[in-house]
Amino acid sequence: MYAIDLFCGAGGFSEGIIQSGFHIVFSSDRSEQVMKTYMNRHHQLGLVQGYNTHFELADIRELTGNYIYNSINKLEVFSENPIGEIDAIFGGPPCQGFSRAGKRDKNDPRNMLFHEYVRIISEITPKYVVMENVEGFMDAALDNFFGLDGRKYPDNTLVSDILQKELSSVGYRVLQPQVLDASDYGVPQRRLRAIFIAYREDVIVPRYPKPTTPEWHQKVKIIEAIGDLILDNEIKEQVNFETSTYLEENKRGRTPHVNGHTIAGPSTPVNHETAKHSKVVQERFTLFREGESSRNVQTRISQSGLNLNEQQNLFWECVLNANRAGNSRIIEDFLHNNSPIYKASNEKNKINLVKSVLTMVSKYLIMLKTEDIELTNKKNIKILYTLEKKTGISKEQFSMFINQSMVYLNRKFKPNELSNQFIEGTINEEMFEYLLTKKNSRSRLGRYDIAPTMLTLPDDFINPFENRILTVREMARIQSFDDSFEFLGKRTTGGELRKNEVPQYTQVGNAVPPLLAFAIASEIKDALLINNQQKKIEA
């Protein structure tokens, strides 16, 4: 059974497709970062570029059905017996334009990629078609949309209706779309995906997969997925953890090599490097109890108060942030009177210099308040050297300024008064942002819960056991990737680079959970087998 995987990403859908018994003969994505991960995994499974599979690094708008067929039939394995038709095409066009978590921009150019998917389908004419997307695909609408035949759809037409009509126009019948929850198929994660299944009129009608773990007691919990990955030995000894069937399968491997055997994961997990959190971040994470979101923490503190004696780094960061405006003016005056670099700068650079100096002075003051003198002196000397380089003011002069200005800094929100407000739970919304940041989506996972949808930003979730974000491997476990599956490239990225780079965390977060993909692909395989049996009987 031959399959094509378009918009393949790092290979989540491919894993399930292969697990169900398909041979992926062609796959494509436009990202070089996911290409490295994808091709590395397929080579590991015995799918070798140019021999028995073809990966094309391309935008789908650059592909044609003829090119795809030619690429497949140039493979060595088909040199004597070219493929006449494809059994199934699987694909998940990028979903940012439809996601309810995003802006849902009708003009997002990525909204049109599902249309390119239909074009490829019309040129390949596979027996079966599967498309997955975010749940928001079901109720998103488009304006100014033209079909493959050139007809214009009325503005505000639902995308799901357009897709069904377009597939019908190229000779396919479409099952009623369904939203499937990955946790119903053995994945330890509530991940809702819109699934469309279509089929040619000359083949057996396929079905949607029936849930394998529909009841709460059957669902895989977080502790069963990542309980063995605790890094702190003291914590590991305290956690009551038993090896689960899910974990054993992850380690043993579910995805077969072309020769039939699965590949066991390494004894030391790959992609399990931890992020280096500052003391402030670690202390912020301690505020979250298992299962709590930022909003839950805020509600609890408002009701019961919070004594920050054990989170002094975090407390002083709150103090300094609350007094940022007043402290900025003091530093701005100092730079104006003493810094040759500041005086020679334009207005924009002056503002940036004040911000930069304020950040470093804040670090200096936090260390003075929270660390032992010897360690503080070593770290602060480095800060003073940096300040000297940035401003042209000697480190001795800067040190004197900081020590003399401490009586003037933090005057609007005095530390003692703020401490009492935290204890009483009477701090305002702005102070909660200093305490927890503006990231309201952050939460600590609960060990006996099912995980929420894994996203592409690693700092959305705090590990249930330790004060850190999840590792790439832990996210991959929650997505149901085998331990032998290695993600390549940068671990994470930020800022403007996020528009173009696809680091490991994003590769995992964007993936279709392999076990969900397996359930869907298995139904297509079963329909193909019945179809082939009927043909034999008729022959």
Query: Number of H helices and number of E strands within the chain?
Result: 21, 12
Q: Please, is 233 exposed, middle or buried when counting C-beta atoms within 10 Å of its C-beta (0-12, 13-18, 19+)? A: exposed
Q: Active-site residue 318, yes or no?
A: no
The active-site residue out of 17, 35, 89, 95 is 95
Host H or E run for residue 193: strand 192-200
Q: Encoding tokens for residue 118? A: 């239909």
Host H or E run for residue 37: helix 32-44
Query: CA-to-CA distance for 270 and 473, rounded, in angstroms?
Result: 7
**Angle (CA) 191 192 198, round 5°:** 130
Report which residue type is found at 226.
Answer: I
**Angle (CA) 259 264 268, round 5°:** 150
Query: CA-to-CA distance for 308 and 221, rounded, in angstroms?
Result: 32
Pair 116, 165: CB distance under 8 Å:
no
Distances (CA, A) of 59 to 10, 49, 98, 279, 499: 15, 19, 19, 43, 16
DSSP letter for each residue of 324-352: HHHHHHHHHHHHHHH-HHHHTS-HHHHHH
Pair 11, 42: CB distance under 8 Å:
yes
Catalytic residues: 95
